Chain A
Amino acid sequence: MLLKKKKRDPAEIPSSSLADIAFLLLIFFLVTTTIDVDTGIGLVLPPPPDDSEPPPIKERNMMKLLVNSAGLILMNEKPSALTEVKETLKKFIDNNGAEANLSVSPQNAIISLKTDKQTPYRIYIDVLDEVKGAYADLRNTLAMSRYGVPYDKLSKESQKVVNQEYPQKISEAEPDKGN
């Protein structure tokens, strides 16, 4: 049997609006995308306390930073303003044994940060920021004098060398028990 085949135009999907659809989707994703980077202040916590006594630390090598419940800052029992913290810390860390009550060397300097229960978190971060800032300034100064470039432009190896000169020793004091 012979069927008469109709001659038809090849079927075609209209694709002229494809670009429009794609654009619409594109704009949607463009608007909803938030390429946000996680930023923050990094710290390494000490391992959980055991029964052994902590190693003895000379009084002069320790800078005790206490932020009380009202958000006031005490540096080695001396009240200080937030704006003074950085300079005082820099003097303390970079003392190199010059003054008798400040640190022996940057490697020995320890900054102990203590807070009360009611200390506002915002103030704590501000103080931590100042501590980090003091170290960042010192490292930057060393990088400039030794290599002639700012710290963040240095290679990984040189950064390590600088970090050894100014190790960040931030200790967070054990919270008081029972209150």
Chain B
Amino acid sequence: MAHFKKKSANTKQEVPTSAMPDIVFMLLIFFMVTTVLREVTLQVRVDFTKAENIEKIEQKRLVSYIYVGPEKKPGNMLGDTKVQIDDAIVRNVKDIRRLMYDKLVEQPKLIVSLRVDHSSEMGLVTDVKQELREAGTLRINYSSKREMK
């Protein structure tokens, strides 16, 4: 039985890989740009509450955070519930007024995101809210994660 000789193409069968580094770099730059490294070190524990009817904050640059939760102590211990703004714990709740007012002057459309630990009590949260009212930062957002059903 006669065999047909298989014709092989004369062209090179190779995927050009010279552009691969370019593609990889492009992806790399995308991820480098989108990565947000955590800008504050949390000194209080914040475990978010869960809720169903939540909304997204679209404009991230308008947001300023207030953290409320039990203070982290060395050796995995938790202390009393404290308020943290930026990098420091606020000792006196009355200071929030001035701090937030300064932020409001810089960004008049400020949204205050309250990141409150689920174990906190409303007394402190209400105090913080009263201070925010005095400061004039009226748009707030209780940070919480989506509840999975």
Q: Let me know if B21 and A22 touch, CB within 8 A.
A: yes
Distance, CA A116 to CA B113, complexed state (A): 22
B residues near A118, Cβ cutoff 8 Å: 121-123
Determine the chain B residues whose CB is within 8 A of the CB of A41 once the complex forms. Answer: 51, 53-55, 141-142, 144
Is B118 an interface position by the 8 A CB rule? Answer: yes
Between A and B, how many residue pairs show CB distances below 8 Å? Answer: 144
> Which chain B positions have C-beta within 8 A of A146?
none
**8 Å CB contact of B121 from A25, A121, A125:** A121
Does chain B have a CB within 8 A of A33?
yes
B140 near A42 with CB under 8 A, answer yes
The minimal Cβ–Cβ distance linking A113 to chain B, given in whole angstroms, is 10
Determine if A154 is an interface residue (Cβ-Cβ < 8 Å).
Answer: no
Q: Does B13 contact A (CB under 8 A)?
A: no
Question: Chain B at the A interface: mostly helix, strand, loop or mixed?
Answer: mixed
Categorize the interface residue count of chain A.
35 or more
Say whether, besides A19-B21, A45-B133, A39 and B121 are in contact (CB < 8 Å).
no
Q: Is the CB of A39 within 8 A of B146?
A: yes
Chain A residue at minimal CB-CB distance from B121: A118
The answer to whether B122 and A120 touch across the interface, beta carbons within 8 angstroms, is yes
Known contacts A29-B28, A133-B52: A43-B120 contact under CB 8 Å: no
Known contacts A26-B27, A29-B28, A175-B130; is-contact A122 B118 (Cβ 8 Å): yes
Q: Find chain B residues with CB under 8 A from A33 CB.
A: 31, 34-35
Q: Which residues from chain A contact B17 at a C-beta distance below 8 Å? A: 19
Smallest beta-carbon distance B24→chain A, Å: 4
A113 to B60, CA, bound (A): 28
The answer to the question of B149 belonging to the interface, with a C-beta cut-off of 8 Å to chain A, is no
A45-B132, A129-B144 given. 18 additional CB < 8 A pairs?
Answer: A19-B24, A26-B27, A33-B34, A33-B35, A37-B56, A38-B56, A40-B54, A40-B114, A41-B144, A42-B57, A44-B140, A46-B138, A118-B123, A121-B117, A121-B125, A122-B49, A122-B118, A125-B118
Residues of A near any B CB (own CB < 8 A): 15, 18-19, 22-23, 25-26, 29-30, 32-35, 37-49, 67, 115-122, 124-126, 128-129, 132-133, 136, 172, 175
6 contacts between A and B (CB under 8 A): A39-B56, A40-B113, A40-B142, A118-B123, A121-B118, A122-B118
